[in-house]
């Protein structure tokens, strides 16, 4: 089930081959140090980080295994969105507002939180400015002594990435780090596998809502698992139970929809108003083009390998319409739409309001739609987006896809 992903041996080999032989003395001493710094007990820092789909299941484990105390914010809700929007610049990206809202929810409940973990970026979009903006906003609100740990894609420099991560692994041996990464990674892979399975099961489930319920149970059980065997056990049993939810629904005529768009919005159900679940209940099987483990594997773990040709197929497919990187997932949204046009009935394109890469993607979509004869529904999200309006548009879109199916079945060519 977990084959095809990085094993612990892969990670160890990568660390040894790519980094360890060249690591300088100071770095080796740091990563091999066995003692936790005096006076901190077992907990190095009281930390938090914002939700992004099920990524917390692995990230929380990694941080806790490295000795940190992790305070998770509540799941993203309208309160999170309203709180973040209240203190953010109006034209800021929607994910910036939501992640700020998550930080504020934690800091209001736990003012003794010492550090926040955030992702950074290297352009050309605004992701690289997120944490600076949030840092300033939180400082203005009185949270000016927070330590910011910013993880950025290594862009080929694996050693630099390890340097950046040093602050998170104080007092840990290399073995501690590898075992923390391995357990966290397995949890994320297991969750992604179950999410993929849920995409297939949900439109066929006999009892409405049972797939989502099982997925939530799986997330909490996998999060609680303390070793690899337990993760695998929960994963296997949940996968089996999920298949059992189909029953007589196997023969249902479902429409297939590819989900493309900006990564945060695509992964976080609280941000996209649970669009995947809504489509599943309307009888649509989702093919999501971004999963968190795929992104981490391609952009972090394998980014330093010269033969890593991540996303080349999408870039190639996007070329006639958009032949260069525009930041975020803009080029991937176009490439994925072209690549999957023959496999799905339609495409839902998710974009945060003011997202530059997705605006570029949206501007070339009409050509892709024309060339591949594929319906694309673009949904733009911000703090004013209402679920009722989104559901109406989704229902109309699914209806359109069903009618096209009927038309194609009865056309002379078919």
Residues lying near ligand SF4 in the complex (CB under 6 A): 93, 95, 125-127, 262, 327-328, 352, 355-357
Nearest to 51 by CA among 89, 88, 94, 103: 103
Task: Locate the DSSP E strands across 81-230.
Answer: 115-119, 147-151
Choice between 66 and 119, CB closer to ligand SF4: 119
Choice between 126 and 182, CB closer to ligand SF4: 126
Q: Cβ 27 to ligand SF4, closest distance in Å? A: 31
Q: Cβ 226 to ligand SF4, closest distance in Å? A: 34
Nearest to 118 by CA among 70, 50, 54: 50
Choice between 97 and 186, CB closer to ligand SF4: 97
Name 111's Cβ contacts closer than 8 Å, sequence gap at least 6.
none
Q: Cβ 352 to ligand SF4, closest distance in Å? A: 4
Choice between 67 and 335, CB closer to ligand SF4: 335
Choice between 262 and 303, CB closer to ligand SF4: 262
Q: Cβ 94 to ligand SF4, closest distance in Å? A: 6
At residue 186, the 3 state secondary structure works out as: helix
Residue 307 is given by DSSP the state: T
Nearest residue to ligand SF4 by CB is 328
Choice between 153 and 280, CB closer to ligand SF4: 153
Q: Cβ 7 to ligand SF4, closest distance in Å? A: 31
Residue 172, both tokens? 């840990």
Residue 48, both tokens? 């938090």
Q: Cβ 395 to ligand SF4, closest distance in Å? A: 27
Task: Locate the DSSP E strands across 274-398.
Answer: 284-288, 346-352, 376-381
Residue 305, both tokens? 């390998």
Residue 192, both tokens? 């992604």
Sign of CA dihedral 52, 56, 59, 63: positive
């Amino acid at each position: 089930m977990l084959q095809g992903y990085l094993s612990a041996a892969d990670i160890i080999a990568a660390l040894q081959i790519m980094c360890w032989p060249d690591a300088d003395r100071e770095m080796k001493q740091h990563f091999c140090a066995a003692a936790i710094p005096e006076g901190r007990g077992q907990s190095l820092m009281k930390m938090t980080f914002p939700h992004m789909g099920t990524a917390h299941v692995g990230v929380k484990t990694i941080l806790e295994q490295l000795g940190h105390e992790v305070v998770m914010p509540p799941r993203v809700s309208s309160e999170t969105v309203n709180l973040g929007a209240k203190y953010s610049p109006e034209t800021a990206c929607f994910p910036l507002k939501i992640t700020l809202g998550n930080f504020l929810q934690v800091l209001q409940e736990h003012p003794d939180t010492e550090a926040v973990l955030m992702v950074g970026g290297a352009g050309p979009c605004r992701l690289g400015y997120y944490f600076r903006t949030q840092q300033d906003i939180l400082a203005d609100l009185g949270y000016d002594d927070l330590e910011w740990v910013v993880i950025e894609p290594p862009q080929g420099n694996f050693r630099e990435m390890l340097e950046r991560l040093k602050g998170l692994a104080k007092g840990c041996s290399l073995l501690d780090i590898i075992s923390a990464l391995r357990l966290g990674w397995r949890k994320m892979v297991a969750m992604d596998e179950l999410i993929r399975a849920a995409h297939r099961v949900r439109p066929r489930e006999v009892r409405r809502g049972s797939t989502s319920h099982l997925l939530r149970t799986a997330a909490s059980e996998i999060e609680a698992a303390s070793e690899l065997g337990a993760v695998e056990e929960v994963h296997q049993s949940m996968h089996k139970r999920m298949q059992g939810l189909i029953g007589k629904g196997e023969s249902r005529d479902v429409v297939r929809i590819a989900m493309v768009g900006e990564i945060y919005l695509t992964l976080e159900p609280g941000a996209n108003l649970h669009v995947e679940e809504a489509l599943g209940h309307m009888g649509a099987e989702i093919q999501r083009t971004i999963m968190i483990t795929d992104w981490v594997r391609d952009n972090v773990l394998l980014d330093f390998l010269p033969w890593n040709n991540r996303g080349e197929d999408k870039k190639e497919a996007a070329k006639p319409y958009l032949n260069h990187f525009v930041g975020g997932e803009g080029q991937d949204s176009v490439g994925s739409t072209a690549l999957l046009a023959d496999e799905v009935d339609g495409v839902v394109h998710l974009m945060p309001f003011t997202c530059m890469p997705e605006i570029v993607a949206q501007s070339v979509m009409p050509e892709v739609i024309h060339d591949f004869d594929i319906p694309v529904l673009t949904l733009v999200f911000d703090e004013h987006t209402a679920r009722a309006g989104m559901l109406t548009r989704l229902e109309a879109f699914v209806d359109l896809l069903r009618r096209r199916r009927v038309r194609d079945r009865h056309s002379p060519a078919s």
